[in-house]
Amino acid sequence: MKLTIGKNFTTINQSTEKIINITYEKEQDSLLEFIIKRIIVNKKIADPLDGFIYQKLLKTDQQNIRKRLLEYFPNGIVTLKSCSDINYKPLQKLLINENFKEADKLTNQHLCELVRSNTTIEKKWLYFTDIQFLPTEDLFTLDFLWKIYSRGKFGFSVQKQIWIKSNKNWDILWKKISWTSNGSMKRYPQEFQWTTKAPEGHLPLFNQLRGTQTLSYLFKYITWE
């Protein structure tokens, strides 16, 4: 199997991950050229494959590879868009480094900031009535960042798709994304998994302990996959 420049990857399966790992051991320059051609030359929107390659190359001990990588992608491979002037660079950095626990906290903070910028009301968490004040562009950016740097496993839209496939049954969703244990909601943060070994849709923990209404409104607000 070969990686294809123009192909879109929504998730990274084991066979694709194996190819990347083998190539990384032998031809890091080929991986770098691969994402440069996809994103810079062909102007392709980044996907989880690009994110995974970027994360791998960032760990290289080959200084020339790392230098070129940062010259082309100094802050990551996602072009950050916000209509609310929020700086998402720290969040992108946390997700690149798979610091998912801190990224989860910062994501919640950004969501509250977005509501505050449109209502002037200070928030620590969101209610269903707040969802209408989230700019679609910013919500997409937050969701996109989570998907790109988690191999396509995490993100609000990922959770929505699992919910739909579960016939919109919340109990089934909680079980599939591992938010419950023996029928009870898990305790934050110690009972959650903060790595890509977690089940698909496990993160981020949007209003995890605040019922289903807010999350339902958020899912309805998301029109992309």
Task: Provide the CATH number for the domain around residue 170.
Answer: 1.10.10.1770
Give me 181's structure tokens: 């244990």
Whether residue 77 lies inside any domain: the answer is no
Which whole number is the average pLDDT over 68-88? Answer: 94
* Together in a domain, 105 and 148: yes
Q: pLDDT band at residue 1, thresholds of 50, 70 and 90?
A: very low
* Together in a domain, 120 and 197: yes
Query: Of 140, 143, 117, 141, which Cα lies nearest the Cα of 130?
Result: 117
* Together in a domain, 66 and 171: no
Whether residue 84 lies inside any domain: the answer is no
pLDDT tens readout for residues 8-60: 889 999 999 999 999 999 999 999 999 999 999 999 999 999 999 999 999 99
* Together in a domain, 156 and 217: yes
* Together in a domain, 207 and 161: yes
Burial class (CB in 10 A: 0-12, 13-18, 19+), 85: exposed
pTM of the predicted model as reported, rounded to 2 decimal places: 0.96
Burial annotation 43-73 (CB, 10 A radius, 16+ → b, else e): ebebbbbbbbbbbbbeeeeeeebbebbeeeb
* Together in a domain, 133 and 216: yes
Instruction: Give the sign of the dihedral formed by CA 187, CA 210, CA 152, CA 106.
Output: negative
